Amino acid sequence: MKTISINIKHAVLAICTILLLGSCSKTDSPTPEFEEKNLAPFSIEFDNIVGDRTFSINNTGNLYTNAAGEKFSISMLQYFVSNIKVTTAEGKTYTVPQEKSYFMINGADKTTRFTKVEVPEGDYTKVTFTLGVDSLRSTMDLSKRTGILDPAAGGGHDAGGMYWGWNSGYIFFKYEGNSSVISDDVNGDPTGKKQFKYHIGGFGGYSAPTINNIKTITIDLNNAGIAKVRKDRQSNVHLFVDVMKVFNGKNSFSIASHPNVMFSDYSVNIAANLTQLFTHDHTEN
Amino acid sequence: MNSKHLIVLLFMGLFIVACKKSEPLIEELETFLGFQKPTNFPEPVYKFENNKITKDGFELGRMLFNEPRLSRNNTITCSSCHIQSSAFTQHGHDVSHGIDDRLGTRNSPPIMNLAWSRAFNWGGGIHDLDTQPITPITTHEEMDENLENVYKKLRAMPKYTSKFKAAFGTEEINTANFMKALSQFMLMCVSSNSKYDKVIRKESGASFTSEEMEGYVLFKEKCATCHSEPLFTDGSFRNNGLAISPVNDKGLYVATLLETDKYKFKVPSLRNLKYTAPYMHDGRFLSLNGVFEHYNNEVVNTQNLDPLLKGSKLGIMLASTEKTKIAAFLNTLNDEEFIKNPLLAEQ
């Protein structure tokens, strides 16, 4: 059986190569006229990694180590990606209609890693997205906040829920795990489970300005491959999302010193690290 | 009342002309008037255009308000801590008493005149009535349930699927429908028929006694900046100089993390005080006299103390005769029709 499947794989590979060769000649053809109604499939892939290693949930048998030398496992990683925008080399932009532009990437469910949208045919050198949920949507009528934006989604705050009831708003980035460095007292995890929890949110306040952890991320595609969006293809911008940078980013910190960060002033430091998570690895056109 | 009757008659007339509807609908119209802005109240702030109040929607909200399945072990209803006879507060409890005999840290506020409220909870953080119930339902000390579980329990009950269908045109029970039904009930909890209201509206010869009138004058001089008419709150958040409690509740600060919001709490309405003791965000004062004494003598200069309480002496001077008169006026804000309104009672 195994040999047969390999043979099939080889065959598929061969066909793909031929197809790719075929499609390469297409890329030489002129870029289509930028026409807002001429929509074609496009996606950004959020491929989670942890430093030099692949991402895995509940990696208790093979721990990760951060820059502070702390060993840890990951039990949950969920974050919102929204408001996707693409830009051509000429500076033409297209913003995906907002109601089709909310995604939740769940580290435990690989099928959630693609943000599949439609943008006009064209060659794009830049993609922009929001890490989090914009303030407008955060305060919209409930009937316009369904699916992943439903405050009931995810089974509540202690499970996969991404909504804060007491301080109306979404958790943009939810990252939990365990590390033996966490103390058992009130400064750590009094339940003795040695859990760390980072629930980063804050849309800037409703009536007075408060902390705003919404991050707009712009990725330049020129180095690792521009997105050539055509109707007969699935252009996919493949990003690596290095969650090690939550700890090791510009505001590096140790798990032991900040094992729980939710709606607090310190969350601003971590949110700043979140902007460093994304690197463009390649584009599949 | 006359103008109300006229409006009902007009609507009946319109329906007969427009649709030639049958008798039962006309009867319903007579008994269910929907949300009506009292003539002495300002325009409400709730966005009614997103949630039109209907008889079925309101009745569904009333069912949900009294539904123990909203809590994890089906023991606690909204009405457990918001009892109509106590003007929808939990009379006699300083802080609310929730599931498994757990205690919260704050006093259960009245469900009253919420259509005019721009922020909810003693400490703010919520700005849309439709999203308010998420907090008590999911809070550990209150109902300790998650929303999806609530919907699952309700979906199994035909009385709910049919009522959702009647109210929203679909049997589907989702967050928007569920929350909007609860809002419909809460929005209808309008208290506007106290003696004060009748005097102001010049209804049926109502008038203040001389003591009440003197109290009213004193009230306007000493209290009305924060407890402004006719809602008897300006809806703002202020630090009224309470000594910091053992739990060090920082109020609005918890929701905004702004240093200038520390120890500020929502200014409560003074309507229905007869039914809503104890007073303050943590229910620390058991009587109105306790509150008067606080302003007269016990105001503490904590961070962000309201400037209005920073005179030559902290607080608000109140001689004992003044207290008596103000109490007499405040007594005119009690609305017996509200706490006895059969429409708002569990059916």
The pLDDT tens digits for B182-208 are 999 999 999 999 999 999 999 989 999
- Tell me what pLDDT residue B16 has: 43
Q: How far is A156 from chain B (nearest CA, A)?
A: 5
Interface with chain B: mutation pick from A140, A141, A148, highest number of B CBs within 10 Å: A141
Interface touch A156/B148, C-beta < 8 Å:
yes
- Tell me what pLDDT residue B30 has: 56
Interface with chain B: mutation pick from A164, A168, A266, highest number of B CBs within 10 Å: A168
Contacts with B121 from chain A: Cβ below 8 Å:
166
Q: Which of A142, A159, A207 sits opposite B175 (nearest CB)?
A: A142
The structure tokens listed for A7 are 């043979």
Please check the confidence at residue A266 and state whether its pLDDT lies above 50. Answer: yes
A131-140, B10-19, B246-255 — which is least confidently predicted? B10-19
Mean pLDDT of A103-119: 97
Interface with chain A: mutation pick from B121, B128, B164, B259, highest number of A CBs within 10 Å: B128
Interface with chain A: mutation pick from B257, B260, B262, highest number of A CBs within 10 Å: B257
In 3-state terms, what secondary structure has residue A2?
Answer: helix
| A-B contacts (CB, under 8 Å) | 85
B52 against A186, higher pLDDT = B52
Rounded CA separation B102/B139 (Å): 11
pLDDT tens column, A29-64: 578 888 889 999 999 999 999 999 999 999 999 999
Contacts with B135 from chain A: Cβ below 8 Å:
165-166
Q: Residue A7 — pLDDT band, cuts 50, 70, 90?
A: low
Interface touch A142/B257, C-beta < 8 Å:
no
Average pLDDT, chain A: 90
pLDDT tens column, A221-255: 999 999 999 999 999 999 999 999 999 999 999 99
Please check the confidence at residue A84 and state whether its pLDDT lies above 90. Answer: yes
Please check the confidence at residue B14 and state whether its pLDDT lies above 50. Answer: no
Contacts with A261 from chain B: Cβ below 8 Å:
none
Cα-based angle B39, B45, B50 (whole degrees, multiple of 5): 115
Please check the confidence at residue B4 and state whether its pLDDT lies above 70. Answer: no
Interface touch A142/B139, C-beta < 8 Å:
no
The structure tokens listed for A43 are 């996606």
Q: Residue A26 — pLDDT band, cuts 50, 70, 90?
A: very low
Please check the confidence at residue B5 and state whether its pLDDT lies above 70. Answer: no
Please check the confidence at residue A107 and state whether its pLDDT lies above 90. Answer: yes
B89 touches B82 (CB < 8 A): yes
Please check the confidence at residue B225 and state whether its pLDDT lies above 90. Answer: yes
pLDDT tens column, B164-176: 999 999 999 999 9
Please check the confidence at residue B92 and state whether its pLDDT lies above 90. Answer: no
B73 touches B99 (CB < 8 A): yes
Q: Which of B47, B127, B151 sits opposite A168 (nearest CB)?
A: B127
Q: Residue B8 — pLDDT band, cuts 50, 70, 90?
A: very low
Contacts with B118 from chain A: Cβ below 8 Å:
207
Q: Which residues touch A233 (CB under 8 Å, ≥6 apart)?
A: A23, A40, A41, A285
Closest CA to B270 of B326, B232, B228: B232
Q: Which residue of A has its CA nearest to B179?
A: A142
Mean pLDDT of A142-147: 95
Interface touch A151/B147, C-beta < 8 Å:
yes
Q: How far is A266 from chain B (nearest CA, A)?
A: 11
Q: Which of B175, B255, B261 sits opposite A151 (nearest CB)?
A: B175
Average pLDDT, chain B: 91
A19-23, A250-254, A261-265, B80-84 — which is least confidently predicted? A19-23
Q: Which of B47, B126, B176 sits opposite A168 (nearest CB)?
A: B126
Q: Which of B125, B131, B137 sits opposite A142 (nearest CB)?
A: B131
Contacts with B179 from chain A: Cβ below 8 Å:
142
Q: Residue B6 — pLDDT band, cuts 50, 70, 90?
A: very low
Contacts with B256 from chain A: Cβ below 8 Å:
205, 208, 210
Interface touch A167/B254, C-beta < 8 Å:
yes
B332 touches B273 (CB < 8 A): no
Q: Which of A141, A142, A156 sits opposite B146 (nearest CB)?
A: A156
Contacts with A165 from chain B: Cβ below 8 Å:
126, 131, 134-135, 137-139
Sign of the Cα torsion B143, B148, B149, B150 reads: positive
- Tell me what pLDDT residue B1 has: 43
Contacts with A139 from chain B: Cβ below 8 Å:
127-128
Residue B81, marked binder:
yes
Please check the confidence at residue A9 and state whether its pLDDT lies above 70. Answer: no
Please check the confidence at residue A113 and state whether its pLDDT lies above 60. Answer: yes
Q: Which of A157, A159, A210 sits opposite B256 (nearest CB)?
A: A210
Contacts with A156 from chain B: Cβ below 8 Å:
138, 146-148
- Tell me what pLDDT residue A33 has: 83
- Tell me what pLDDT residue A160 has: 85
Rounded CA separation A214/B156 (Å): 39
| Whether the predicted interface score ipTM is above 0.95 | no
Cα-based angle B289, B251, B111 (whole degrees, multiple of 5): 65
Q: Residue B10 — pLDDT band, cuts 50, 70, 90?
A: very low
B97 against A157, higher pLDDT = B97
For chain A, give the percent of residues with pLDDT over 90: 79
**Locus of tokens 């306040």:** A205
Torsion angle in degrees (nearest 10) through CA of B98, B99, B105, B108: -20
- Tell me what pLDDT residue A30 has: 73
- Tell me what pLDDT residue B100 has: 80
B143: left (phi over 0), alpha (psi -120 to 50) or beta: alpha
Q: Residue A145 — pLDDT band, cuts 50, 70, 90?
A: very high
Q: What pTM does this model have? A: 0.86
Q: Which residue of B has its CA nearest to A203?
A: B256
A16-25, B48-57, B104-113, B220-229 — which is least confidently predicted? A16-25
Rounded CA separation A129/A51 (Å): 23
Please check the confidence at residue B18 and state whether its pLDDT lies above 80. Answer: no
Mean pLDDT of B130-144: 93
Please check the confidence at residue B141 and state whether its pLDDT lies above 90. Answer: no
Q: How far is B110 from chain A (nearest CA, A)?
A: 18
Q: Residue B214 — pLDDT band, cuts 50, 70, 90?
A: very high
Interface touch B134/A167, C-beta < 8 Å:
no
